[in-house]
């Protein structure tokens, strides 16, 4: 429990609330970075279907955690598992971490991050990578958590080419 907030494993019934956090977070975080028409066209229903599929994964090395406020409303989430691209240096990956803007800077993102790291360590992963849009203000968060920029790639979102930065952690056990 963090100042009235709780972190727990995801339940199948959480997909709708996760979709709302996902869409709303993208709209506040990426406005001015990702094209407005892409952000405005994001759908809670499409996102919910996607998160329902993702959260139903039964792979032992996959985990998803949600953050709830004092009323039990989901206000953030994170998921992670095996690194997906076959990177030679990093075996684990933080796939996503989203937190509603009104709940940022309260230690909740750090708690979600630490839950994923703990899950990865328990499942034998030594290192972790996360991909972040270069202009995302959260880059400072990953740096404060000890992440080092180790990769770069281009990604197309809404017809616009954007740069992604891969932040890496070589020794998860030391986090």
Domain positions in the chain: 6-125
Give the contacts of 81 (CB within 8 A, at least 6 positions apart). Answer: 57, 59, 61, 62, 63, 92, 93, 95, 120
Is the pLDDT at 9 greater than 70, yes or no?
yes
Report the pLDDT value the prediction gives residue 2, as an integer from 0 to 100. 67
Mean pLDDT of 6-24: 95
Q: Are strands 92-99 and 160-169 parallel, antiparallel or unpaired?
A: unpaired
Segment 116-170, tens digit of pLDDT = 999 999 999 999 999 999 999 999 999 999 999 999 999 999 999 999 999 999 9
Contact call for residues 80 and 94 (beta carbons, < 8 A) = yes
> What architecture is the 6-125 domain classified under in CATH?
3-Layer(aba) Sandwich (3.40)
The three-state secondary structure class of 51 is helix
DSSP per position, 114-148? HHHHHHHHHTT---EEEEEETT-TTHHHHHHTT-E
Contact call for residues 32 and 89 (beta carbons, < 8 A) = no
Output the CA torsion sign for 92, 77, 7, 60: negative
Pick the closest to residue 175 from 138, 136, 106, 126 (CA basis): 126
Mean pLDDT of 89-111: 95
Is the pLDDT at 1 greater than 70, yes or no?
no
Mean pLDDT of 100-113: 94
Give 79 or 3, the one with higher predicted confidence. 79
Segment 30-84, tens digit of pLDDT = 999 999 999 999 999 999 999 988 877 778 899 999 999 999 999 999 999 999 9
C-alpha distances (whole Å) from 111 to each of 6, 161, 167 are 9, 32, 18
Check: pTM over 0.75? Answer yes or no.
yes
Residue with tokens 């229903």: 45
Contact call for residues 39 and 95 (beta carbons, < 8 A) = no
Segment 163-173, tens digit of pLDDT = 999 999 999 99
């Amino acid at each position: 429990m963090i100042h009235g907030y709780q972190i727990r494993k995801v339940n199948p019934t959480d997909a709708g609330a996760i979709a709302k956090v996902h869409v709303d977070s993208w709209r506040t975080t990426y406005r001015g970075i990702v094209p407005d028409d892409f952000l405005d066209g994001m759908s809670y229903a499409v996102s919910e279907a996607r998160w329902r599929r993702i959260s139903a994964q039964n792979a032992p090395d996959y985990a998803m955690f949600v953050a709830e406020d004092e009323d039990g409303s989901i206000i953030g989430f994170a998921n992670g598992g095996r690194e997906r691209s076959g990177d030679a240096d990093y075996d684990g990956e933080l796939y996503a971490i989203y937190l509603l803007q009104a709940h940022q800077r309260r230690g909740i993102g750090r708690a979600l991050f630490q839950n994923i790291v703990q899950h990865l360590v328990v499942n034998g992963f030594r290192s972790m990578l996360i991909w972040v849009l270069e202009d995302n203000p959260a880059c400072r968060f990953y740096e404060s958590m000890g992440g080092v920029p180790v990769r770069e790639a281009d990604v197309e979102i809404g017809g616009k080419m954007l740069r992604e930065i891969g932040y890496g952690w070589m020794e998860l056990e030391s986090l």
